[in-house]
């Protein structure tokens, strides 16, 4: 959906209509400073930590995780150490309201959107994406 199409809105919209498509990945051993540089370069708020050769994403590291990791030694911390846990996932056809509830219940700002047929990440849904849908009543494909 583009911004010129009929608005769907937060209450009736789907994750696919509001998410940021695609993901940027890094291996768990990536230094936290390099993760920050990648986020700044691509102007995103999260990166998927992915074990090379593995099929499943290990975690999502957000800009808030960068801040937390910086407190324990920015140059000594890796993406794998700073990312708290396996990612919370959501399907593209899930409602935005349900995705928002999942974020609230788990105190997270990013959900990994996973294709239910192949199990592969297809995008990220952030609280910023939800805020845009709520504010404008138009889901968008925006920043992670």
What is the maximal distance between C-alpha atoms in the chain? 48
Q: Are 113 and 125 in contact (CB under 8 A)?
A: yes
pLDDT of residue 71: 79
**Within-domain flag for 141:** no
**Structural domain contains residue 1:** no
pLDDT confidence of residue 10: 74
**Which domain CATH number covers 46?**
3.10.580.10
Distance (Å, whole) CA 21 – CA 17: 10
Q: What is the pLDDT of residue 63?
A: 87
User: 133, 9 in Cβ contact below 8 A?
Assistant: yes
Decide if 4 is inside a domain. no
Residue 10 domain-assigned (yes or no): no
- Domain annotation covers residue 3: no
Residue 65 has a pLDDT of: 86
Burial of 65 (0-12, 13-18, 19+ CB in 10 A): buried
Domain presence at residue 142: no
Give the pLDDT score at 2: 42
Q: Count of domains in the chain?
A: 1
Exposure pattern of 106-117 as b/e (b: 16+ CB <10 Å)? eebbbbbbbeee
Q: How many whole angstroms separate alpha carbon 113 and alpha carbon 36?
A: 22
Give the whole-number percent of the chain exceeding pLDDT 90.
Answer: 50
The answer on pLDDT for 135 being more than 90 is: no
Cβ atoms of 120 and 112 closer than 8 Å: no
**Quick check: 41 pLDDT over 50?**
yes
Q: Is residue 109 part of a domain?
A: yes
- Report angle CA 123, 111, 95 to the nearest 5 degrees: 85
Residue 8 lies in a domain: no
Query: 125-138 burial, b for 16+ CB within 10 Å, e for fewer?
Result: bbbbbbebbbeeeb
Structural domain including 118 reads 15-136
């Amino acid at each position: 959906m583009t911004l010129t199409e009929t608005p769907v809105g937060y209450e009736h919209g789907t994750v696919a209509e509001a998410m940021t498509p695609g993901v940027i990945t890094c291996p768990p051993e990536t230094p936290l400073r390099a993760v920050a540089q990648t986020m700044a370069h691509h102007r995103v708020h999260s990166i998927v930590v992915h074990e090379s050769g593995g099929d499943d994403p290990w975690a999502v590291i957000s800009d808030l995780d960068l801040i937390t990791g910086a407190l324990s030694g920015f140059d000594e911390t890796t993406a794998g150490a700073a990312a708290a846990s396996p990612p919370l996932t959501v399907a593209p056809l899930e409602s935005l309201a349900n995705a928002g509830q999942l974020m609230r219940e788990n105190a997270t700002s990013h959900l990994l959107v996973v294709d239910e047929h192949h199990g592969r990440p297809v995008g990220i849904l952030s609280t910023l994406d939800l805020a845009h849908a709520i504010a404008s009543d138009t889901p968008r494909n925006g920043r992670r």
